[in-house]
Structures are given as structure tokens and as C-alpha cells.
Chains A and B, each alone.
Chain A
Amino acid sequence: MGGRLMPLSTVAFLVENQPGVLFKVSNLFRRRGFNIESIAVGAVEDTRYARMTISVDADTKTMNNMVDQLDKMVEVIKIKRLDPLRTIMRELLLVKLSTNDPMAREDALRYINNQHGLVLDIDEENIMAEVTGEPGELDQFLEYVKSIGIVEMSRTGITALEKGRLQL
């Protein structure tokens, strides 16, 4: 990541919670040449439906067409392009840092605390932490801990809800 010219565009949409729907959505992205930067999906309160949040690096024209194409899918119930100013976006990161060195361990704990992260697991060699934040904050956090040594990591992808009375 990093070095991006445009901010990512994010769409949220509700789909039928059925086998094969994720395939069809990603197949549509592949076929039309849209590039997914991040994708998050999970059932909503009515478990017949799932909510997907997809971020892409695309210009307005491509983005509009992408929304139209998704909207056309029978399995897509509603869709909205999210306005970043009126949306809360979050992402969760699990990261395992190599902390053999006591200094490294101290640095790691400091960065994790600064980012209000949680330490989930710790032993002589590693610390595993959970960090949540805006996607940019996670990028920043990863920048900091890179020098400590990232053993492995996993990001959930951006998930988002609009503020106040706005909704999908």
C-alpha cells in the first residue's frame, strides 16, 4: 500500500447470504477489470443477508460503472457509495512481532499502547497484538513496527457505517 494518488473509494452493499454470492461479486470485479483493494463481509442482523464493504482504487467514472454493475446483480439488494466525510471506517489488524530483544519488546508495547491496541499473546519470542483504527492509522502503525520485525500479519479489510441518520 502507500503511494496512492487518489483516496480509495468505498462501497457498501447488502447481498443475499448464499453460497456462491461472494464468487459472483469477485468474478464481476475480475471480469470488468476493477481492482479490489480490500473486501470485508459478514452477515447482518437478518442472517439471510450479508453486508459487503469493498474499497477500490478507481476514478469516478469507473466507480460509477462499478456501482451500476453491482446493482444489476440479482443477488445485490442495495448498494451505496460511501461519502468519506459522513462515514466511519475501521479496519482490524492482527500482527505478530518478533520481540526476542527486550528493547524491541518495549518498543512494540509502546506502539501498541499508543494505538490503543491489545496484546493477545506473548511469549519469549513474539507478541501478538490486535489493533483497530482507520485504514490509514494501521498503515502508519505498520510503518512504525516494521523495524521491530513483523513475523506475520492479517488485516480484515475496511468495514464502514455511515454516521447519524444515514444508512444503506
Chain B
Amino acid sequence: MTEMTGSRAFVKALEKQGVEHIFGVSGGALIPICDELLDSDMRFILGRHEQGSTHMADGYARVLNKVGVAIATSGPGATNVVTGLATAQIDSSPVVAITGQVNRAVIGTDAFQECDIIGVSASVTKYNIQVRTPEEIPYAVKRAFHIANTGRKGAVLVDIPKDCTTLSGDMVFPDKVEFRGYNPNPVPNSQELDWAAKILSDAQRPVIMAGGGVIASGASKELVEMAELLMAPTATSLMGKGAIPGDHPLALGLCGMHGTMQANMIVPKSDVLLVVGARFSDRTTGKIADFTANTRIVHIDIDQSEIDKNVETVTRVVGDAKLALQGLIDRVKQQRLISTDWHKRIDEFRCVFDYETEKNGKYLRAPAVVRALREEMPRDAIVTTEVGQNQMWAALHYDAYEPRTFFTSGGLGTMGWGFPASIGAKAAKPDVPVVDIAGDGSFGMTENSMATAVEEELPVIVVVLNNNVLGMVAQWQRLFYDERYSAVKLKGNPDFVKLAEAYGAEGVRVESLDHFRTAVRRAKEADVPTVIDVPIHPDENVMPMVPPGMGLNDTLWEAD
């Protein structure tokens, strides 16, 4: 036991967790903590808005598979964190947010900058806790990190009243915290493995769908081994991109509303579908009845509550994806007698992207731009995306070759996530090129994070697919609302080149694909961030597409 202030104890507790970076914005309730941080080696990356800094912590966490720490003051600071937490939580990203709170004596009195952030954040966190005494701080931090980073990972919030940071107490730093109600068990049950292995071994037309859980558990090697063992075509959800290298012969690409033709055609033709670490989002399955009509689903997930939530399975394995796949591989190897060449059908459905039309008048074609970007980037480059057409173009045309190289706000679809997340990613891996594939609307939402990127010397690249429109919404209006464009035109967009320059970053507007390639090469070498403004036709659609409410079999290749 050592006597020290709450803020000292807080900083020490973070250090004990191995925290190196903190993303946040200061404020009244945080002054004692920020003061204490001056004497620590942890790097405080100062955001310009707490939403942005929380996304930075999220991007950082996803890249390193390590808890990302976001910090914000009470009241508006805390409410600004909420979008960041919801985004991290639904994508199972380990983020711990620390919020300042008013003094204990005035909690509940609507004091200045008081907000009931425990109530507000309850639905968007895995766990949250308000500290009641200075002595609780080390425990709360330990608990928060443990919960955020084990089982199905997620977002945790710790709310610390200001007087708990200024007062002193006898501090104990626990090595371990115990929970009676929280013991995630990653080890799969062997009977469940036996059943699942039997079904997989008998499959005539096996298909695998990999989700974010494969990446979270580091099971890519096992996934590929399983795919090769079964000779199973393997699709991914948006969160699963990178689980199997995009250029692997069995890789189908993305499945779902904007899935690839081959993925959307093959998945419903399977007789057994092995789903690993995915949660059957409506965007991935299309119409559920069609999705499950002919296939039997074997579901692996660490989160028991995902099993049978959206889709009925024939059998399940609850546990860590890596351990589950290892268990299944051992069993299937011994049992499987069938060999099929059904995977050869992949090519029947493969639609080849039309490279010829790179340009459309003065505009570049978004798929061509994304493919060129892929070619200019090393295999281990990191890509984040915004939300909308840009996200789907990235998902369809940017092959991820390694896990933890492609990041997107899959579950919440948070516009404005990609740019700050890319800054967090760059802080995590300064030596790897990091690109945000952006839309002009999304970039506008958190573009002020540029100040942080410049200040912290984190030279990320932003490729703005600039169609001067909230493109994805406009696409729906074009296809399903008689081209009645309402509330989508972005006539007042800034000049993104000048905007970048105003922040002290580089900006370049490109006019051809070659010009784009040159700009990317230059940006990779730059020591300031670069914004590459790419003119895209406002009417360009993302294709293929499954019309809303339809099944994967109804995927359209062209918009007419």
C-alpha cells in the first residue's frame, strides 16, 4: 500500500497496463490527470474533438490488438465519446474510455458539465463503471482493461469524479481482478467439435464465411488450412476482410449487399456453410430465408448470445475461433473421405472488373482508383475506410492480403471514422503506410483531426473519392426513389487541396490514373499527411448490389 493521489494512481495503473498512447481532449474535470500525465512517458495525442480521438484509440486498438485508451472531460467531452464507443463496441474493438466527472458531492444536482455518462453509455459499452473512492481507481482500471480485452472484446467506460483524482488514498495495485460474473471461456467443448466435424466431413459443397472473429483471434492461418482441407470457397463479411488473403485461389471476397458476384452466388449454393466469428448482420446475409434455404450452418463464435440470434444453425461451437478451427482441423483430417471439385465453380460466377473504362469524362472511375491504390501499396499497408460508396468500393476492389490491414466501421457504419482511425493506426505502426479511403461527406465529419495528424507527425494519406454528394444515399435515391435527390448534394464542399494546405498538410487533385499513382507514391514518402482529391462522377453506382429485402441470389451486376 502506498499513499498517493487518485490521479497519480490512475496514471500508474495505466502504465502497469502497458499503455503508451492516450487519445483525447482535456477539460476541467481532467486537469489533475493531465497534470500527472506530464510526468509520465505515455504520449498524449491531443484530438480536436472527442469523437475523433476515440476513433483514433479504436484504430490503434484494431491494428495492435491492444487496448486503445480514449480520454475526455465530463459533460460534453463525455457525450462526444459516445459515437466512438458505439462504433468500437459493435465491431468488438478493445477500447477503454476514461471520462472525468464532477465532484462526488454534486453528482445528481445537474452541476456544471455534469452528464450521467454511465446511463448514457450503458447501451453502447460492454461494461461501464463509476469510481466511488480514490482507492477504487487502480481496480477500476484493471477491471476495465481486462473486460475490454478478453472474450468478445469491446468498449468499456470508466467515469472518475474529479475529487477522486485530487484526494489521496492508500493505493493497492492488484495483479489480478476476479469477477464472479465474467469468465469468458475460449476453449471449445469437444462434443460440439465432434458434431461440427462430422457435418463438415460429409459436406459435398462446403463453403466458409469468415468474420471479424477470425481476425480478432488471430486464426487466419487455421482458416486457410481449413479452407484448403475442405477445398471450400471462402467468403468474408466486411469485418472479416483480410482473414484469407484476397488473392488466395479459394477466396471469394466479400459476401452481402455489396458482395462480389462469386461470393453471393456460391454462398447460397453450399450444402454446409461454416461461419467463423461472424454474426449474420442483415447486410451480410441479405434476405435470411434465402440465405439459409439450402444450406446447413455450422457456427463458431466466442459469444454464446450470437448463436441462433439471427440465423438458426444446425450445430455450433462456442469458443475462440483459433482453438475451434484447430480442433475441427484435427478431426476433419481423420474423417473426411469426400473430395469435391466444386470450388472450380467459383470461376463460373467470377465477374471481371472492366479495366478499360478508367475515366468517365473528367472523372476517374472509383474502382480503378482503388485498384491502382492497391498496386501502389505494399502488402502490409493499412487501409481504413469511411462509410458509403467509398467503403464498398474499398471492400470490393482493395484486396487485403493480411489480417489487420483493412479496417472499417462495419457494424455501426460511422461516417467520419476512417480518418481519425487511420491516425490511430499510424501511431500504432509508424513505419507502415496508412491510407484512409474516404468520401467527401465522411471526411467532412472529422476532417479537423488533420490538426492532430500534422502536430503529431503522423503522415497518413487520405484518398477522397470526391463525388460532391452523399453518394450511397444518392445511389439509393437513384435506384429506388425515382432519382429524387433529397438532402444529398454537397455543393458547399471545401477545396480539399487548400484545406490540407491550411492545416500544413499536402494536398493534390489528380486528373488521371497515372497522376493518381504518382501522387500516392509521393504521399508514401512525405513526412506530412497528404490529401488526394479524386474527382468521381456523382452518378457512379457501387455494383454489384443486392436490392434491399432481396436474397444474395438476386444480386444485380448492373444498375438497370
Contact = CB atoms under 8 A, between A and B. Distances in A.
A57 interface: no
Nearest to B126: A74
A15 B181 CA distance: 8
Contact of B123 (A31, A71, A76, A77): A31
Nearest to B312: A61
A75 interface: yes
Nearest to A79: B181
- Select the residue from A65, A72, A73 with max chain B CB neighbours within 10 A: A72
Interface in A1-44: 15-16, 20, 23-24, 27, 31
Nearest to B179: A74
Nearest to A72: B305
Given A16-B181, A73-B181, A74-B179, A65 B305 contact: yes
Interface in B291-342: 303-305, 307-309
A72 to B, nearest CB: 5
Given A23-B119, A23-B122, A71 B127 contact: no
B491 interface: no
A100 interface: no
A68 interface: yes
A73 B127 CA distance: 8
Interface in B121-176: 122-123, 126-127, 130, 147
A4 to B, nearest CB: 24
Interface residues of A, number: 20
Interface in A75-117: 75-78
B118 interface: yes
- Select the residue from B126, B180, B307 with max chain A CB neighbours within 10 A: B180
Given A61-B308, A65-B309, A71-B304, A77 B180 contact: yes
Given A71-B304, A72-B304, A77 B181 contact: yes
A6 B341 CA distance: 49
Contacts of A31: 123
Interface size class of B (residues with CB under 8 A): 10 to 19
A64 interface: yes
B304 A74 contact: no
B123 A74 contact: no
The A contact surface, by secondary structure, is helix
Contact of A64 (B118, B303, B308): B308
A50 to B, nearest CB: 12
B147 A74 contact: yes
Nearest to A31: B123
A30 to B, nearest CB: 9
A27 B123 contact: yes
Given A31-B123, A74-B179, A69 B308 contact: no
A109 B496 CA distance: 83
A22 to B, nearest CB: 12
A61 B309 CA distance: 8
Contact of B305 (A24, A27, A71): A71
Nearest to A15: B181
Contacts of A76: 181
B182 interface: yes
Contacts of A23: 119, 122
A65 B312 CA distance: 12
Contacts of A74: 126-127, 147, 179, 181-182
A71 B182 CA distance: 9
A77 B309 CA distance: 22
A21 B298 CA distance: 35
B308 A75 contact: no
B147 A65 contact: no
Contacts of B123: 27, 31
Contacts of B182: 74
Nearest to B132: A19
A24 B122 contact: yes
B403 to A, nearest CB: 25
Contacts of B180: 16, 77
10 contacts: A16-B180, A23-B119, A23-B122, A24-B122, A61-B308, A65-B309, A68-B305, A71-B305, A74-B182, A77-B180
